[in-house]
A and B are shown apart, each in its own frame.
Chain A
Amino acid sequence: EPEVTQTPSHQVTQMGQEVILRCVPISNHLYFYWYRQILGQKVEFLVSFYNNEISEKSEIFDDQFSVERPDGSNFTLKIRSTKLEDSAMYFCASREQGLSDRNGYTFGSGTRLTVV
């Protein structure tokens, strides 16, 4: 079964440092997303990306965050200057283009980011 792949699985970084989280979405999917989940809390939407541009973003996705699709396969989330409150599990997701959501959104296994 096709998978969304994320690397690294864990990242520890010092406050103020930049981090890049990487994702390889499913190859025939055209919509890409980043979500985060702070420990014990709900899954929160950050940003959606379609046709090489951001289509939606939440209030969490401020100027410290950026996304990029540098080539035909990778999709990255950059946090420019990390804060303690950025510590969370970050999930990448993708879905097919089309009228039906019958196959759902496929999530990657996540990157656990710890800011110290």
Chain B
Amino acid sequence: GQNIDQPTEMTATEGAIVQINCTYQTSGFNGLFWYQQHAGEAPTFLSYNVLDGLEEKGRFSSFLSRSKGYSYLLLKELQMKDSASYLCAVRPSGFQKLVFGTGTRLLVSP
């Protein structure tokens, strides 16, 4: 089976840094994805990790440890528009689908 855990909600202040954690237990592993989803909108692809380590993309970075079944998404210099849900998703090996966690709702305040 597949199980992906994320905190339900986080709050942070504009300009700050926030780290959103994700732990997973899946039947094999073929990559981990982070998506941003604003309310009522489609998930938007942020990052992809398949090897251990940090991937950086502008203000967003994502880290993976396969041995620990753990990832985090780091958002720097937070802006109000970063208020959204952040979805962690895994592609189990042997499958083409993504399995999503429940998402972390991030609220950025002034």
Binding site for B on A (CB under 8 A): 31, 33, 41-45, 48, 50, 55-56, 58, 89, 91, 101-110, 112
Contact = CB atoms under 8 A, between A and B. Distances in A.
B39 to A, nearest CB: 10
B99 interface: yes
A42 B91 CA distance: 16
A101 B48 contact: yes
Interface of B: 30-31, 33, 35, 40-45, 48, 50, 87, 89, 91, 95-103
Given A48-B97, A55-B96, 19 more contacts: A41-B102, A42-B102, A43-B103, A44-B100, A45-B99, A45-B100, A56-B97, A91-B42, A91-B43, A101-B31, A101-B33, A101-B50, A102-B48, A103-B48, A104-B45, A105-B33, A105-B98, A107-B45, A112-B40
9 contacts: A33-B96, A42-B101, A42-B102, A42-B103, A45-B99, A48-B97, A55-B96, A56-B95, A101-B48
B51 to A, nearest CB: 12
Contacts of B30: 101
A107 B38 CA distance: 13
A109 B103 CA distance: 18
Contacts of A110: 41-42
Contacts of A108: 42
Contacts of A45: 97-100
A50 B44 contact: no
A46 to B, nearest CB: 9
A109 B41 contact: yes
Contacts of B98: 33, 45, 105
B86 to A, nearest CB: 12
